[in-house]
Structure 1
Amino acid sequence: MLMRSRARRRSAPALPAAQHAGAEHPPLRVLLPRGLAALARESGIGAAIRHQEKAVRSLGHEVVTDPLGPFDVVHLNTPFPDTLLLALWARLRRRPTLVWAHSTEDDFRDSFPGSNRLAPLFRRWIALLYRRGDAVVTPSEYSRQLISAPKYGLRAPIRVLSNGVDTGFFRPDPTARQRLRDSLGLPPEATVVISVGMQLRRKGILDWVEVARRMPEVTFVWYGRTDPRLLTAEVERSLAGAPANALFPGYVQAEQLREAYCGADAFCFLTKEETEGIVLWEALACGVPALVRGIPLYREAMPDGVLTHQVAGDGPEFPGRAAARLRALLDGELEDLTAAGRRAAEGVDLEQVAKRLREIYRLAGVRPVRGVRSGA
């Protein structure tokens, strides 16, 4: 019965999306609920939610956070239990639901203790959530291919929309070099390589520490943290045994992160699985040379030598090969790709994301609803 109801609603003629305030239609009230989403504040999903808020406001729409108040469309982003309740509430209110597919079974693996055993169950759970959407939004063509697999059972349209990057905020700043070294207590000539993310095996932290061990003349700085209760034993051992040239300042605010990107000599992102990777876009926007692991997403979307330099593979030989490639990058032996990286980041600037979001609203039939009948 619910499936037939959903099908009827999706087959209705698309209504025009709201435009800027003062246009023919009033602005949309876009529900971006807080709830358990606050738990994801320091993650990529938290950054994606903040980007959505900026994109929505740039279109002239209003961001609302109270699901008990009036709203015209809801954005759901997290894999937490309240997401299912919010989707059911939106259906009861007859409001369109857009579900962001940030997570997959693949990128849940190698994350937290027991995550590999729980991955199939996690996939069933997120598939249930994604099926609650009138449209599913995912950040890359690669992730669209993953969630299009029959095991997810999705029937709603799947739209690709980058999480984007604020290229007005994340931009090159040569003066940041000295400030970064001062903040770390390093001499002006120090070579600094950074990475950003939660401290997870999937994020490549084990290999990153081993690369740092092979390059004692370079200072490696990892920004970001994971609740110690959620660290796997192997990550705990790696952090405890990290060499002296590996620093872990923890989670920092966006301004400090921008200083790090702009002041670093290289960004070394050895993640093993991503649906997009906002931090890579931030690094490219700031004009820092980037070395990444050649995972399928990056091999397809940005082949080696186009926007980033890449090191393929895994296993015990990987850190040595990554260290050699990184050393060549730092020594200027590899092509300078920073201008191309900046241009690519501008292509997913939040202004461009907002334009594509407006089209997704149109395709989903999102419209402002006012009056007594709507309960507004």
Structure 2
Amino acid sequence: MKISHYFEFEEHVTGGIHESVAHQRKMLDHVGIEYTTEPVLDADVFHTNVMGPRSVWYARRARSNGVPVVAHTHVTAEDFGDSFRFTNTLARPLKPYLKWAYSHADALVCPSTYNQALIEKYTDVSTTVISNGVDQEKLAGFESLEAEYRNRYDLDPPVVFLVGHVIKRKGLETFVELARRKPDIDFAWFGPLDMKLKGRETTRLIENAPDNCTFTGFVEDIRGAFAAGDIFCFPTHEENEGIALLEAMSAGKPLLIRDIQTFSWLDDGEECLKVSGDIDGFETALERLTDDDLRARLGANAKQRSEAFSLSAVADRYHDLYQEVTR
């Protein structure tokens, strides 16, 4: 079996989508499935990760030539807003475009049941939930970087941290305000800033953040973030799955998260503390997480739960899906 595993805009798209594609290709290697990253039609399956215009064009050609099309649903209009400058404006016309684009697939891959529920309102194309997974090899040895990264950013434990692009949708306002309310605790957001792409409100939040709130910018070795951080605070408002959250779990970090549908599979008080209310709820939960024993228990449970999302545990799902669409 040969797969055309295409990633339109590969040189420009970063963040979770880029990581997901890297994970998929490692999983295909794991199960011994041959693939090319070029959009070709002499393949058994055409699998596209971003349904841009070139992907739609190739998908139409593939189907007309009897090649089944699999498309990932990384992008939704709901997930697109409050990201970068102009994304709120683009989110409205994006939805009808995605409804049309996703309809050109024979099967859609959704990273979570929440994403699946959204996509089933877009199109009646068959959907399958396959997690983006967590690359445990990428995090190997992260503990050895603790002193280096804490010294680099002048961080004292317990450090509240987040990993990923600094965007409003991921709970930037809550993260900054929580730091303001807890001046004796260090907060660090590890990830690209890309200030020229930020909207006015996002820029204001970053520039007016308190001194105990550090925005590191791009980190070459992301293991340093998980080494320096103690409490993974993810007050995101909308998420398709959250690879950084899975990475934090794999690193044994306790989670402080917003209680949104995406995270319904996580158990409050077991792997995480969930907050359904406003900033007061986050402040109360964070006060609980200053307890070393609670952090250790939640972190150990999170690490154990993350094993189900390892690339080796997820990889066979792709083999099964490709077999199904080629029958």
Q: TM-score, normalised by structure 2?
A: 0.92
Residue 170 of structure 1, CA deviation: 2.9
1:327 matched to which residue of 2?
287
Find out whether 1:257 has 2:227 as its counterpart: no
The alpha-carbon distance between structure 1 residues 353 and 289, as it changes in their structure 2 partners (threshold 3 A), is same
Amino acid at match of 1:169: K
1:312 matched to which residue of 2?
276
Q: Which of 92-101 and 281-290 deviates more?
A: 92-101
Amino acid at match of 1:262: A
The alpha-carbon distance between structure 1 residues 45 and 31, as it changes in their structure 2 partners (threshold 3 A), is same
Residue 102 of structure 1, CA deviation: 1.4
Q: Do the aligned partners of 1:75 and 1:97 also contact (CA within 8 Å) in 2?
A: yes
CA deviation digits over 1:178-230, x for unaligned, max 9?
232133244xx543221012222111112111111112222211122253333
The alpha-carbon distance between structure 1 residues 118 and 219, as it changes in their structure 2 partners (threshold 3 A), is same
2:316 matched to which residue of 1?
355
Q: Do the aligned partners of 2:7 and 2:21 also contact (CA within 8 Å) in 1?
A: no
Q: Do the aligned partners of 2:8 and 2:51 also contact (CA within 8 Å) in 1?
A: no
1:369 matched to which residue of 2?
none
Find out whether 1:50 has 2:22 as its counterpart: yes
Pick from 335, 342, 345 the counterpart of residue 303 of structure 2.
342
2:35 matched to which residue of 1?
63
RMSD: 2.1
Amino acid at match of 2:320: E
Amino acid at match of 1:33: Y
Find out whether 1:94 has 2:66 as its counterpart: yes
Amino acid at match of 1:216: P
Q: Do the aligned partners of 1:262 and 1:288 also contact (CA within 8 Å) in 2?
A: no
SS at match of 1:218: coil
CA deviation digits over 1:286-312, x for unaligned, max 9?
0011111111111x2113123211111
1:9 matched to which residue of 2?
none
Distance 1:127 1:69 in 2: 24
1:19 matched to which residue of 2?
none
Residue 145 of structure 1, CA deviation: 1.1
Find out whether 1:279 has 2:279 as its counterpart: no
1:22 matched to which residue of 2?
none
Query: Where in structure 2 are there 5+ consecutive unaligned residues?
Result: none
Q: Which of 83-92 and 302-311 deviates more?
A: 83-92
SS at match of 2:222: helix
2:147 matched to which residue of 1?
178
Amino acid at match of 1:162: S
Distance 1:141 1:176 in 2: 35
Q: Do the aligned partners of 1:139 and 1:276 also contact (CA within 8 Å) in 2?
A: yes
1:270 matched to which residue of 2?
235
Higher RCO by CA contacts (8 Å cutoff, separation 6 or greater): 1
The alpha-carbon distance between structure 1 residues 172 and 65, as it changes in their structure 2 partners (threshold 3 A), is closer
CA deviation digits over 1:308-338, x for unaligned, max 9?
111113xxxx233312311320233746212
Residue 118 of structure 1, CA deviation: 3.5
CA deviation digits over 1:230-252, x for unaligned, max 9?
31110011111111221122222
Residue 98 of structure 1, CA deviation: 0.7
Query: Where in structure 1 are there 5+ consecutive unaligned residues?
Result: 1-27, 367-376
Q: Do the aligned partners of 2:158 and 2:186 also contact (CA within 8 Å) in 1?
A: yes
SS at match of 1:63: strand
Amino acid at match of 2:186: T
Find out whether 1:112 has 2:101 as its counterpart: no
Residue 114 of structure 1, CA deviation: 4.2
Find out whether 1:36 has 2:27 as its counterpart: no
2:257 matched to which residue of 1?
292
Pick from 188, 191, 196 the counterpart of residue 158 of structure 2.
191
Report the structure number with the largest CA radius of gyration: 1
Pick from 137, 142, 160 the counterpart of residue 114 of structure 2.
142
1:159 matched to which residue of 2?
128
Q: TM-score, normalised by structure 1?
A: 0.80
Distance 1:220 1:164 in 2: 26
Pick from 168, 186, 200 the counterpart of residue 233 of structure 1.
200
CA deviation digits over 1:74-114, x for unaligned, max 9?
22112433221231232244322110111222212222344
SS at match of 1:301: coil
Residue 69 of structure 1, CA deviation: 7.1
Distance 2:191 2:50 in 1: 19
1:219 matched to which residue of 2?
186
Amino acid at match of 2:259: G
2:54 matched to which residue of 1?
82
SS at match of 1:221: strand
1:17 matched to which residue of 2?
none
